[in-house]
Amino acid sequence: MSGLVFMNGNLVPKAEATVSVYDHGFLYGDGIFEGIRVYNGRIFRLRDHLYRLYESAHSIMLTIDYTLDEMEKAVIETVKANGLRDAYIRLVISRGPGDLGLNPKNCEKSQVVIIVDHISLYPAEVYTEGITVITVPTRRNLTDALDPKIKSLNYLNNILARIEAERAGVMEALMLNNQGYVSEGTADNVFIMRRGVLKTPPAHMGILEGITRELVMDLARESGIAVKEVPLTRHDFYVADECFLTGTAAELMPVIGVDGRQVGNGKPGPVTGNLIDAYRELTRTEGEPVL
């Protein structure tokens, strides 16, 4: 029963789930998306993802032919149809098929795609041993050019940064904004722990307002740790006691080196470890199972 993709209201087999080459999502990256996880039969924080999806749509003036409640039902229906209790959901809304040319005015109907599938995760050891990262030449998009708060189909900015990281032999990049402050990873937010305070760049530094980021700040506060959203330089990362990345796909990933500098004692830190445990517990138990 797995391998069914929701395409504008129909559940179609994976092999037949195709979009038009005239779709402006394909031609121009004109669209938005969300990545959501299913843990233990529960769709984790679906509403939060849908709120962000509809905000992205509003910001780029993309009409979605489904209300948020209808979209929620469609996601649940697709998860059930695929019968996967642990999965990754990719929800994509593109501007839809239209004429050649940037103007979306002839794109009559936006295209809604919901994929539910397995995700190939990072190897287990990266969570216990941590990863090293580098800052890369490609800067994060300017907030007044294409605001990173919009989860758009334009990921070329991040893809270039990821290529630069891979070429340098590391798994992830830290991206700076145009002022040289650290903004985020290519698909995750960033945190440091320094002298007992958990710090992460504020939203206006040019970041996606990650759902995992928000949750991790809540978990930290609940356990009595002070949390600050403050501009951070590369130096702040070099002298951090701990560092980690957060994201729906990556979850919480410890970082043990930045630009050749060892972070802390070169091992994932205790606060990072506690937050990883708290996050795992929450994702597997929060909310009602849908299957």
- Which are the catalytic amino acids? 151
Closest CB to ligand PMP belongs to which residue?
A: 210
Residue placing its CB nearer to ligand PMP in the complex, 135 or 189: 189
Residue placing its CB nearer to ligand PMP in the complex, 4 or 170: 170
The SS3 assignment for 76 reads helix
**Smallest distance, ligand PMP to C-beta of residue 141, A:** 10
Contacts of 82 (CB under 8 A, 6+ apart): 1, 2, 3, 4, 116, 117
**Smallest distance, ligand PMP to C-beta of residue 135, A:** 15
**Smallest distance, ligand PMP to C-beta of residue 162, A:** 10
Cα–Cα distance, 285 to 280 (Å, whole number): 9
SS3 content of the chain, % helix, strand, coil (to 5): 30, 25, 40
DSSP for residue 172 = E
Residue placing its CB nearer to ligand PMP in the complex, 81 or 217: 217
Residue placing its CB nearer to ligand PMP in the complex, 41 or 247: 247
H/E run at residue 271: helix 270-285
Strand ranges inside 95-204, DSSP E? 111-117, 131-135, 172-176, 182-184, 189-194, 197-200
Binding site for ligand PMP (CB under 6 A): 35, 158, 184, 187-189, 208, 210-213, 246-248
At 191, give phi and psi (nearest 5°).
-135, 150
Closest CA to 134 of 188, 177, 171: 171
Q: Measure Cα distances from 86 to 2, 12, 46, 137, 283 in Å.
A: 12, 21, 14, 36, 11
> Which amino acid makes up residue 113?
V
**Smallest distance, ligand PMP to C-beta of residue 99, A:** 30
**Smallest distance, ligand PMP to C-beta of residue 35, A:** 5
CB 30 within 8 A of CB 24: yes
Residue placing its CB nearer to ligand PMP in the complex, 98 or 210: 210
